[in-house]
Structure formats: C-alpha cells, structure tokens
Amino acid sequence: MEKEKKNKYSIIVPTYNERLNIALIVYLIFKHLRDVDFEIIIVDDGSPDGTQEVVKQLQQVYGEDHILLRPRAKKLGLGTAYIHGLKHASGNFVVIMDADLSHHPKYLPSFIKKQLETGASIVTGTRYVKGGGVHGWNLMRKLTSRGANVLAQTLLWPGVSDLTGSFRLYKKSVLEDIISSVVSKGYVFQMEMIVRASRKGYHIEEVPITFVDRVFGSSKLGGSEIVEYLKGLAYLLVTT
C-alpha cells in the first residue's frame, strides 16, 4: 500500500482487563500498517489486572507518539470511551476496534483501501456478507446475534448488513457529528451509531471480516445486554 501522506489514522482501543491481549493487538496493528501514518489511543477504564502497566512498557518499545495511554478512573462505558479517545485523536480518520483480538488488525488495510477507493464516510466490518463470518461462537450465540441483526434490519432499514459490529473506520468529522447525538450505552451503542449515520445520509461501505470470539478473558455479553438491545431497538424505532 502506498503511503498516504495526507491521511493519519487514530485507532481507538477501549480496554478493561486486557493485559493478556493488548501487547498482541498492538504488535499486529504495527505489522499490518507498515506504510500508514497512525496512532493507537488506548482508553483504559482503571483495569485492576495491570493493563496500563503493559501499555506503558509498549510505549517504551514503540514510542509515546505511536501509543497514547489515555486512562479513566473507572469503568464508564463504551460510548464515552470513544468520546474520550476522540478528544486525543490527531488523525483525520478514526478506527474503533476491540482489544480482545475478536477484530484482527489484518483487515485494517482493506478498510483503508475501501475508503480510498470509494470516498466513504464510514467503512464497517461485517460478518454477514460473503467472505465474512464468526469463529468460536456456539450455535445459540450465533442465532442470537443473527436474529438481533435481522430484527433490526426489518424494523430500521439501515442499509447495512451488520449493525452491532464494532470494527469501523470513520472520517473523524463524521464520527464527531454522529457520536454527539447518540444516547445508547453498551451493546446498543454501535447500532445507534450506524443507524444515525445512515439516517444522516453518510456514505457507508462494508468489508467482510471474520469475528473471532475473545482469545483471553471472558465475554461481556449476557442476558442483561440482550434486554438492553431490545430496549434500544424500540428507542431507535421511535426516534429515527
């Protein structure tokens, strides 16, 4: 990939107890973005497992200009983590991705290439088109996720195949515009982001990805998140 002189990519990675994953995700980002100007902004919500200490060691290896640690005192939610990270982003594009290796950095060049080819305001990774998929989920989890997406597609017509995915590339100005009007928390946050972007008429493109269930640590999706999702769906149906 030719180096894009004018573009810089700020990669926001929210963390909570990701000590076992963060070094690997950082290594893989550097491996796959050799000819790209980027920074990694790690927003850690007071992890008790030593995540921040590992990030400080990574800063010694890769440099504080490439790895920015912007911690918060406690767990304050995903949406506010992105807002916090955005305040420190110096790039004109922002990538949001999970720290648990469910989003493989090998897809980042495809996101960047798709944006450069199409001029899209948003490029989102999708599990639900040819070439995409899910690895490591049991049948129940797959059905729950697929059902949630089908339900949202039917009710909201967003024009995007994967509403709850959280691996996306945004023009920074677009992310700032959308995030200011989002009220949802947790699992519903990503869905509201993409639905509001669609309603505002932003150009959205998709790239197939394979989502891999977290390698280390425990999944944060439970029954309460599913209830929140259904509440959020009803809210978006009424407000958008």
pLDDT digits (tens, 9 = 90+) for 44-80: 999 999 999 999 999 999 999 999 999 999 988 888 8
Q: For 45, phi and psi rounded to 5 degrees?
A: -95, 60
Q: What is the mean pLDDT of residues 133-148?
A: 60
pLDDT of 102 reads 85
Where is 205: in which H helix or E strand?
A: strand 204-208
Whole-angstrom Cα distance, residue 169 to residue 38?
Answer: 13
Residue 141 clears pLDDT 60, i.e. is over it: no
DSSP secondary structure string, 100-154? SSSS-GGGHHHHHHHHHHH--SEEEEESSSTT-EEES--HHHHHHHHHHHHHHHH
Cα–Cα distances in angstroms (integers) from residue 9 to residues 90, 98, 111, in the given order: 8, 16, 11
Q: Are 46 and 75 in contact (CB under 8 A)?
A: yes
Q: Are 25 and 13 in contact (CB under 8 A)?
A: yes
pLDDT of 153 reads 63
Residue 156 clears pLDDT 70, i.e. is over it: no
Question: Taking the domains of the chain in order of start, what are their residue ranges?
Answer: 9-239
Q: The whole model's pTM is what?
A: 0.82
Q: What six digits make up the tokens of 178?
A: 């959308």
pLDDT of 159 reads 67
Q: Which residue has the higher pLDDT, 122 or 127?
A: 122
* Own/partner pairs, 127-132, CB within 8 angstroms, 24+ separation: 127/162, 127/165, 127/208, 127/209, 127/210, 127/211, 128/161, 128/162, 129/161, 129/206, 129/208, 130/208, 131/208, 132/162, 132/208, 132/209, 132/210, 132/211
Q: What angle do CA 188, 97, 201 make, to 5 degrees?
A: 60
**Helix or strand or coil: residue 229?**
helix
Hey, what CATH class is 9-239 in? alpha beta
Length of the chain: 240
- Cα dihedral 105→119→179→96 (10° resolution): 0
Other Cβ atoms less than 10 A from the Cβ of 149: the count is 20
Least confidently predicted of 38-52, 68-82, 85-99: 68-82
Whole-angstrom Cα distance, residue 197 to residue 200?
Answer: 5
